């Protein structure tokens, strides 16, 4: 299959050393990098897309989330796409995160914060229990 001018590959970023090992050994994932979404260990413009599935609310503060938005913007190439899936705040979410980090993002506020990081063409899709954000790097 024609993949275009350069080879496409997927890189997984994971904070936990144990989960990095699991990704490599149990799933056979390649290109697993241990690191913090708020300080991405990648070159600027390195990626065509970034996807954060149920990760952002695990960052320890609103400031760390905003740093992550800025970092994701930095590592995307112009026109690159960022997609985030997040849970809504609520009692079920809070119970599920007992003994775990939960810094819930309100959908509209998340949209504004992603815009403040420089993203445009932002689409917010809400569903029962959560929401999806899609945005493009300018
Ligand atoms: C609910 S899990 C979701 C994992 C995966 N995206 C999925 O959908 O199955 C949240 C993940 O975020 C990771 N995480 C927590 N803090 C992080 C950070 N600062 N940077 C990157 N990943 C982080 C956790 O280690 C955990 O693997």
The segment(s) of the chain belonging to CATH 3.40.50.150 are: 46-137
How would you class 72 by CB atoms within 10 Å of its CB: exposed for 0-12, middle for 13-18, buried for 19 or more? buried
Residue 73, pLDDT score: 98
Average pLDDT taken over every residue of the chain: 95
pLDDT-derived band at 1 (thresholds 50, 70, 90) equals: very low
Query: pLDDT, tens digit, for every residue of 28-43?
Result: 999 999 999 999 999 9
- What percentage of the chain exceeds 90 in pLDDT? 94
Q: Is residue 68 predicted with pLDDT exceeding 90?
A: yes
Å from CA of 54 to ligand 1 middle: 7
Residue 6, pLDDT score: 59
Does 55 contact ligand 1 (Cβ within 6 A)? yes
Does 14 contact ligand 1 (Cβ within 6 A)? yes
- The topology under which CATH files domain 46-137 is Rossmann fold (3.40.50)
Q: Which atom of ligand 1 is nearest to the CA of 37?
A: 20
Does 13 contact ligand 1 (Cβ within 6 A)? yes
Å from CA of 58 to ligand 1 middle: 7
Does 37 contact ligand 1 (Cβ within 6 A)? yes
Query: pLDDT, tens digit, for every residue of 76-87?
Result: 999 999 999 999
Do the strands 120-127 and 130-136 form a parallel or antiparallel pair, or are they unpaired? antiparallel
Q: What is the rounded CA–CA span in Å between residue 62 and residue 109?
A: 11
Does 22 contact ligand 1 (Cβ within 6 A)? no
Q: Is residue 111 predicted with pLDDT exceeding 90?
A: yes
Query: pLDDT, tens digit, for every residue of 4-16?
Result: 455 679 999 999 9
Neighbours of 38 (CB within 10 A): 19
Does 16 contact ligand 1 (Cβ within 6 A)? yes
Residue 5, pLDDT score: 54
């Amino acid at each position: 299959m024609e993949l275009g001018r350069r080879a496409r590959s997927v890189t997984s970023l994971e904070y936990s050393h144990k989960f990095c090992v699991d990704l490599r050994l149990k799933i056979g994932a390649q290109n697993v990098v241990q690191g913090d979404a708020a300080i991405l260990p990648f070159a600027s413009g390195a990626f065509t897309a970034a996807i954060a599935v149920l990760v952002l609310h695990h960052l320890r503060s609103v400031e760390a989330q905003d740093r992550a938005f800025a970092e994701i913007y930095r590592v995307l190439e112009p026109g690159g796409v960022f997609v985030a899936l997040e849970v809504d705040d609520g009692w079920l979410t809070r119970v599920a995160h007992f003994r775990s980090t939960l810094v819930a993002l309100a959908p509209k506020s998340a949209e504004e914060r992603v815009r403040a990081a420089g993203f445009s063409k932002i689409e917010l899709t809400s569903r029962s229990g959560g929401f999806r954000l899609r945005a493009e790097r300018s």
